[in-house]
A and B are shown apart, each in its own frame.
Chain A
């Protein structure tokens, strides 16, 4: 009988002891790192500044947190776990199924909604910082999802392909010889206007080419070795971009990259500009809205392609490979080719996103393609649930949007003093999220998946039933 279960006894003595130990450890960890700050005095000498208040607050926080988690665990200890609801993963799938169209519908309506509520002046920030920024990460997340989520290849150098795309577009679009050649061939000003639309596919193809080139030697390696080699490749590409000044202009980067046009009509204030042609008053908002829809379209193409590919033989091979590589090989799947397609297609979408990034910024430098960027994209895929498209959207909104919200929290300075900059905590929060997510749900927020092949009846595969592979 359920009543027979005794109410769990919380042993406060042990709990208190545990918390004190946790607090002592926290004191040991933070006494030097938080309690003392190294600072530069006016005469350029290094001095130490004590911060006992901060240290006490953090240690106290650890004590309370340990006490609370300990109590929570103890009060649940005697409880019989309720029968596992099988519907939870079915529900998750339903969310995935209906959530995606809803999310897409929301995204399509987003600029119009913002424009209506915030007006043309206020809307730029919301569309550019929130909308476009998040969409770039959604696109990158979906691209990396093909590699990590579907094929199970941990790629820590995805930013390399992003960089290849960005630099291909930037170098091609701002190259003088091509511009002159095009001017002679078709007409003056043609390249300036059409560069984006011509270079976008080229950037994607070049990135895919690099994907094959880098992927070919490394794909024989297993999980974590592959991850480290891709990290090395990502860093090599960045370091070459920094050091090969003749090619990429080094640290200084490439500026005044041609901006995308509305299919031949530039967004300028002049007579043949977009605004004049459509009888509108000139405003930079049109370009922003247009860029928003371009990246939305690119992202949706990525999603559509990865959804379709999942159902093709190659996609099934990817997922099989993710679950068990040895079984795949013994069933006659060509693992190298299968991995290579995943790598190349993922790289291609990274290249598209890179070209878009370069066109949107108008300026790129190697600073934008550091390892942390790769880690950030990976965090989005992992947090969202590897293989889940909607999960990537949710994770991007939470992480990237959350960072942008942090920037807006200037009022916190009133409480924490002038030196307090909420934005500097963003990567800290990123790191915490990644660790907590792995501890709490290693398979991500949306972890149930619909099988692509089934016998008689479609059954949802809950994440707990999926045996983890050794890929």
Chain B
């Protein structure tokens, strides 16, 4: 029971990170029907940007408690802005021209973009693991039974709280603002939306920006949670987040969050109760099984094949 509760906390934390990345996949897929393979690497870049900003601030202002908190906040905001710029640029350069091209062209371009980003970071920042000094190490003890302490760390509280707040804001933007309405319209029928005066190109750009901003939140959280980032970190979390998006039903925003939580929980429970070696195998197997047997996911709409 104690182990279960502890793993539940860890799983929800991890799931929050996956859910945030998964939203980027699911929104882009919903609006232009492509798998944005480079999204995982955008997430990795955001972690690097946070790392650099955090280091730059703490190098001048020291590592006292208040400064660390402020530095993380600034790192989060700067990372969100610059990662959005990355995503916007990627869409402009690599995807926009291919929108009318044959089906696999955007996917191949995205794979190329993913390789490009990963190796750009490797060349620019080096291939080693980049650690940050441990921050927010304190934990809150929830309860203790049979000598096992169930604790939640401030980091985890922060990750879950920030994720919840941002998801709330994001939900509001998509459901209540003209921008969100334009987005939903483009998702349903881009041609009709264009006829009704919606700037489809701009709406798609905004979609990429929003996805990247949420990925940047995930990246900053990932960095503070694990305390280390490396240039190849985009791939596996990226695939897992895509799994989450598919599991929840691709195109569905609540589905992405639900899928992220499920994947996070499955991964932590698998590591805790079965074997830690095969945790990635479990995630990839879920991806394959869901795609084969349940391609519409938990909350998605079944897709009708059209001529």
Q: Which residues of A contact B (CB under 8 A)?
A: 25, 28-29, 32-34, 36-40, 46-48, 152, 154, 156, 217-218, 220-225, 227-229, 231-233, 235-236, 239-240, 243, 326, 371-372, 375, 378-379, 382, 424-425, 427-428, 430-435, 437-439, 442, 468-471
Q: How far is the CB of B147 from chain A (nearest CB, A)?
A: 32
Q: How far is the CB of B76 from chain A (nearest CB, A)?
A: 14
B contact residues, total (Cβ < 8 Å): 67
What is the bound-complex CA distance between A217 and B235, given in angstroms?
A: 25
What is the bound-complex CA distance between A438 and B96, given in angstroms?
A: 11
B105 contact from A220, A239, A326, A438, Cβ within 8 A: A438
Could you tell me if B107 and A154 are in contact, using CB atoms closer than 8 angstroms? yes
26 pairs, A vs B, C-beta closer than 8 Å = A32-B53, A32-B78, A32-B82, A33-B48, A33-B124, A152-B104, A154-B108, A221-B295, A223-B104, A223-B107, A224-B107, A227-B35, A229-B287, A236-B284, A236-B285, A239-B281, A243-B281, A371-B235, A378-B111, A382-B108, A425-B123, A434-B111, A434-B112, A435-B93, A438-B98, A469-B102
B280 contact from A154, A229, A239, Cβ within 8 A: A239
Could you tell me if B112 and A435 are in contact, using CB atoms closer than 8 angstroms? yes
Q: How far is the CB of A244 from chain B (nearest CB, A)?
A: 9
Given contacts A36-B56, A232-B288, A438-B106, 16 further A-B contacts (CB under 8 A): A25-B89, A29-B85, A33-B121, A39-B126, A217-B288, A221-B292, A236-B281, A239-B278, A326-B307, A375-B115, A428-B116, A428-B119, A432-B112, A434-B112, A438-B105, A439-B109
> B65-73, B128-136, B153-161, B202-210: which one contacts chain A?
B128-136
Could you tell me if A435 and B291 are in contact, using CB atoms closer than 8 angstroms? no
Task: Collect the chain B residues with CB atoms within 8 Å of residue A47's CB.
Answer: 55, 59
Could you tell me if A48 and B52 are in contact, using CB atoms closer than 8 angstroms? yes
Could you tell me if A439 and B59 are in contact, using CB atoms closer than 8 angstroms? no
Task: Collect the chain B residues with CB atoms within 8 Å of residue A39's CB.
Answer: 126
Among B105, B118, B133, B242, which residue has the most Cβ atoms of chain A within 10 A? B105
Task: Collect the chain B residues with CB atoms within 8 Å of residue A428's CB.
Answer: 115-116, 119-120, 123
A29-B82, A438-B109 known; A228-B102 Cβ under 8 A:
no
Task: Collect the chain A residues with CB atoms within 8 Å of residue B280's CB.
Answer: 235, 239
Could you tell me if A224 and B35 are in contact, using CB atoms closer than 8 angstroms? yes
Could you tell me if A431 and B112 are in contact, using CB atoms closer than 8 angstroms? yes
Interface SS majority for chain B: helix
Task: Collect the chain A residues with CB atoms within 8 Å of residue B287's CB.
Answer: 228-229, 232
What is the bound-complex CA distance between A224 and B307, given in angstroms?
A: 17
Nearest CB in chain B to that of A31: its residue: B82
Q: How far is the CB of B295 from chain A (nearest CB, A)?
A: 6
Nearest CB in chain A to that of B116: its residue: A431
Q: How far is the CB of A227 from chain B (nearest CB, A)?
A: 6
Nearest CB in chain B to that of A220: its residue: B292
Could you tell me if A33 and B49 are in contact, using CB atoms closer than 8 angstroms? yes
Task: Collect the chain B residues with CB atoms within 8 Å of residue A29's CB.
Answer: 82, 85-86, 89
Task: Collect the chain A residues with CB atoms within 8 Å of residue B281's CB.
Answer: 236, 239-240, 243
Q: How far is the CB of B301 from chain A (nearest CB, A)?
A: 15
What is the bound-complex CA distance between A278 and B295, given in angstroms?
A: 62
What is the bound-complex CA distance between A154 and B108, given in angstroms?
A: 9
Could you tell me if B107 and A28 are in contact, using CB atoms closer than 8 angstroms? no
B103 contact from A25, A218, A224, A433, Cβ within 8 A: A224
Q: How far is the CB of B134 from chain A (nearest CB, A)?
A: 12
Could you tell me if B292 and A46 are in contact, using CB atoms closer than 8 angstroms? no
Q: Which residues of B contact A (CB under 8 A)?
A: 34-35, 45, 48-49, 51-53, 55-56, 59, 78, 82, 85-86, 89, 93-94, 97-98, 101-109, 111-126, 128, 130-133, 235, 239, 242, 246, 277-278, 280-281, 284-285, 287-288, 291-292, 295, 305, 307
Nearest CB in chain B to that of A424: its residue: B123
Q: How far is the CB of A358 from chain B (nearest CB, A)?
A: 23
A36-B52, A228-B291 known; A46-B119 Cβ under 8 A:
no
Could you tell me if B292 and A375 are in contact, using CB atoms closer than 8 angstroms? no
Task: Collect the chain B residues with CB atoms within 8 Å of residue A438's CB.
Answer: 94, 98, 101, 105-106, 108-109, 112
Could you tell me if A468 and B103 are in contact, using CB atoms closer than 8 angstroms? yes
Could you tell me if A434 and B109 are in contact, using CB atoms closer than 8 angstroms? yes
What is the bound-complex CA distance between A470 and B117, given in angstroms?
A: 29
What is the bound-complex CA distance between A195 and B224, given in angstroms?
A: 52
A29-B82, A438-B98 known; A233-B124 Cβ under 8 A:
no
Q: How far is the CB of B7 from chain A (nearest CB, A)?
A: 21
Nearest CB in chain A to that of B283: its residue: A232
Task: Collect the chain B residues with CB atoms within 8 Å of residue A225's CB.
Answer: 291, 295
Task: Collect the chain A residues with CB atoms within 8 Å of residue B78's CB.
Answer: 32
Could you tell me if B125 and A37 are in contact, using CB atoms closer than 8 angstroms? yes
Q: How far is the CB of B304 from chain A (nearest CB, A)?
A: 12
Q: How far is the CB of B40 from chain A (nearest CB, A)?
A: 11
Nearest CB in chain B to that of A436: its residue: B112
Could you tell me if A33 and B104 are in contact, using CB atoms closer than 8 angstroms? no
B113 contact from A25, A233, A235, A431, Cβ within 8 A: A431
Task: Collect the chain A residues with CB atoms within 8 Å of residue B295's CB.
Answer: 221, 225
What is the bound-complex CA distance between A378 and B108, given in angstroms?
A: 9
Nearest CB in chain B to that of A372: its residue: B115
What is the bound-complex CA distance between A246 and B120, given in angstroms?
A: 37
Q: How far is the CB of B211 from chain A (nearest CB, A)?
A: 17
Could you tell me if B98 and A38 are in contact, using CB atoms closer than 8 angstroms? no
Could you tell me if A46 and B131 are in contact, using CB atoms closer than 8 angstroms? yes
What is the bound-complex CA distance between A38 and B127, given in angstroms?
A: 11
Could you tell me if B114 and A46 are in contact, using CB atoms closer than 8 angstroms? no
Could you tell me if B85 and A28 are in contact, using CB atoms closer than 8 angstroms? yes
Q: How far is the CB of B291 from chain A (nearest CB, A)?
A: 5
Could you tell me if B101 and A442 are in contact, using CB atoms closer than 8 angstroms? yes
Among A243, A372, A438, which residue has the most Cβ atoms of chain B within 10 A? A438
Among B45, B86, B130, B287, which residue has the most Cβ atoms of chain A within 10 A? B287
